[in-house]
Amino acid sequence: MADSIFTDQNLLQINPWPIPKYVYVIGEIGINHNGDLEVAKKLINMAKTSGCDAVKFQKRTIDIVYPQDVLDAPRESPWGTTQREQKEGLEFDEADFDELDAYCKNVDIDWFASAWDVPSQIFLRKYDAPYNKVASAMALHTELLEAIAQEKKTTFLSVGMCTYEDIDNAVAIFKKHDCQFVLLHTVSEYPAPEKALNLRGIVDLREKYGVPVGYSGHEPSVSPSIMAAMMGAVAVERHITLDRAMYGSDQAASLEGPGLQSMIAQIRKIPEVLGTGERLITEGEKAVAHKLRYWKTSGD
pLDDT-derived band at 296, boundaries 50, 70, 90: confident
Specify the pLDDT at position 2. Answer: 58
Mean pLDDT lowest among 45-49, 144-148, 279-283:
279-283
Mean pLDDT lowest among 50-64, 144-158, 228-242, 278-292:
278-292
**Mean pLDDT, rounded, for 1-15:** 81
In this structure, the chain runs to a length of: 300
Note the helical H segments in the chain.
37-50, 62-65, 68-72, 83-89, 94-107, 118-124, 142-149, 164-176, 200-209, 223-230, 257-274, 283-292
Which residue range(s) make up the domain with 193? 3-296
**Percent over 90 (pLDDT), the chain:** 88
- Return d(Cα 186, Cα 197) in angstroms, integer: 8
CATH of the domain at 264: 3.20.20.70
300, pLDDT greater than 80: no
- Return d(Cα 18, Cα 241) in angstroms, integer: 31
**Mean pLDDT, rounded, for 268-273:** 93
**Mean pLDDT, rounded, for 253-272:** 96
Q: Provide the b/e sequence for 274-286 (b: ≥16 CB within 10 Å).
A: eeeeeeeeeeeee
- Return d(Cα 14, Cα 57) in angstroms, integer: 34
3, pLDDT greater than 80: no
Note the helical H segments in 51-152.
62-65, 68-72, 83-89, 94-107, 118-124, 142-149
Specify the pLDDT at position 25. Answer: 98
297, pLDDT greater than 80: no
The count of domains in the chain is 1
Report pLDDT digits (tens) over 30-66.
999 999 999 999 999 999 999 999 999 999 999 999 9
Mean pLDDT lowest among 4-8, 46-50, 100-104, 294-298:
294-298
Report pLDDT digits (tens) over 212-246.
999 999 999 999 999 999 999 999 999 999 999 99
- Return d(Cα 164, Cα 228) in angstroms, integer: 20
Full-model pTM: 0.94
Q: What is the mean pLDDT of the chain?
A: 95
**Percent over 70 (pLDDT), the chain:** 98
Specify the pLDDT at position 294. Answer: 78
**Mean pLDDT, rounded, for 118-142:** 98
pLDDT-derived band at 178, boundaries 50, 70, 90: very high
Report pLDDT digits (tens) over 116-125.
999 999 999 9
CB within 8 Å of 5: residues ≥ 6 apart: 20, 22, 24, 234
Specify the pLDDT at position 276. Answer: 79
